[in-house]
Amino acid sequence: MGRPSDFTECSPALNYFLLENLLFGIYINSMSDIIDEFHALIPTNARHSGTGWTNMCCPSCGDTRFRGGIKFTSSGGWRYYCFNSGCIFCTQPTGWEPGNGFGGRPRRLFELMGGDIRTIPTKELLSFNTQRYNRRGEEIGTSERLDVTYKFPEVGLPPETMPLMEASKKFRKAADVFRWAYGRYGEWTKELPFAWSPQRDKYLILPFFHYDDIIVGYVGRNIEASSGGNRFIGRAPTDYIFNQHILSTMSAKYIIVVESPIDAALLGCLATRSSVLTQKQINLLTVSGKDPVFIPDYKAGEYESFLNVAKENNWCVAVPNWISRDATDVGDSIKTNGKLLTIELIMKNMTKDCDAVETKIRALAKWKET
């Protein structure tokens, strides 16, 4: 169990807590792995105060004066508060209760204490619908929940949109678009659900399929524009993350997050569709139980906000050297390095050290310009 072995060292309040749980033995048996693991992580030098707090050196702010306080609740959960005024757990205390999922800030604390999330069964991580947060990610009472969007209205594609392969056999313009796509994405052009519309005949269109059956948006890439305002067309709800349904259909621990839906379609991952995430997009990633791995584009003015959101939420980032000299994003890498090597490069470069990543990406972005 990892709970304090010597009762006499415990405060009366903690003794009372343990006694209460002994009396309700059934409750102890149903206590989850989350609290077991959390107990086991409390340092052996932790001090038990008379007020029911167990004090340890806060693992978040580099504190050495035992200002991190843990209190176990009578409902079988815990609260954490840091008494060091500069610490994020001072301005925003955290905690966990049985029945809640295990994401966001409680999970972050757990990992800072040296916990390994893989010891927690997936079903407990995923019971996120009962987890209660307010908009700033703070745990709160029963009425408010972290706002997440799972449902989106159906969106119509441009008039007479048809599959690109089919269109390329009938229309010269569609054949041009197909050739352009083939030059960039190779054989993947035939695998992905690319489309074309005679009304938008310069555009390579990618419909956004939500759970395979409904179309909730699309993006069109102008094959004749390399920059400027007419490079992209599209429609989709702002809060939609491209491919977001795979968060619940895929069992993988890590999920790659890029900006461009076409890159994400190639890699089978998520795309935020902008370098700036909406609060609901952040919430969805927070409660997903996955470890997001952010891959910024190596372009000045675009990577900064993407990197910041990863930093603020303690998510992984990966900034690989894409090997080929002119590759600035995942799409370029897939074209020149192939899909497997691209994924390998991402996995090998995953880190939470955002400052180091920023230095590297600045050098890469500068180098690409010259």
Q: Which residues bind Zn ion (CB under 5 A)?
A: 58, 60-61, 63, 82, 84, 87
The CA-to-CA distance between both ends of the chain, in Å, stands at: 59
What's the closest the beta carbon of residue 97 comes to Zn ion, in angstroms?
22
- Closer CB to Zn ion, 94 or 337, in the complex: 94
What's the closest the beta carbon of residue 47 comes to Zn ion, in angstroms?
15
- Closer CB to Zn ion, 80 or 194, in the complex: 80
Query: Which residues make beta-bridge pairs with 293?
Result: 256, 316
φ, ψ at 287 (rounded to 5°): -90, 0
CA distances, 330 to each of 269, 276, 295, 345 (Å): 11, 18, 8, 10
Question: Using an 8 Å Cβ cutoff, are 271 and 260 in contact?
Answer: yes
**Closest among 263, 324, 323, 325 to 294, alpha carbons compared:** 263
- Closer CB to Zn ion, 94 or 283, in the complex: 94
- Tell me how far the alpha carbon of residue 183 is from its chain's centroid: 31
Cβ within 8 Å of residue 82, ≥6 positions away: 58, 60, 61, 63, 67, 68, 69, 88, 89, 90, 93
What's the closest the beta carbon of residue 81 comes to Zn ion, in angstroms?
9
| Single-letter amino acid code for the residue at 7 | F
What's the closest the beta carbon of residue 38 comes to Zn ion, in angstroms?
17
State the chain's maximal CA–CA distance in angstroms.
84
- Closer CB to Zn ion, 67 or 221, in the complex: 67
What's the closest the beta carbon of residue 358 comes to Zn ion, in angstroms?
24
Question: Using an 8 Å Cβ cutoff, are 307 and 283 in contact?
Answer: no
- Closer CB to Zn ion, 149 or 314, in the complex: 314
Q: Give the integer Cα–Cα distance in Å for 123 and 131.
A: 13
- Closer CB to Zn ion, 63 or 297, in the complex: 63
- Closer CB to Zn ion, 61 or 316, in the complex: 61
Question: Using an 8 Å Cβ cutoff, are 306 and 275 in contact?
Answer: yes
Strand, coil or helix: what is 288?
A: coil
What's the closest the beta carbon of residue 45 comes to Zn ion, in angstroms?
16
What's the closest the beta carbon of residue 82 comes to Zn ion, in angstroms?
3
- Strand ranges of the sheet holding 214-222, from the earlier edge strand across to the other edge: 162-163, 195-196, 203-210, 214-222, 232-235
What's the closest the beta carbon of residue 61 comes to Zn ion, in angstroms?
3
- Closer CB to Zn ion, 109 or 307, in the complex: 109
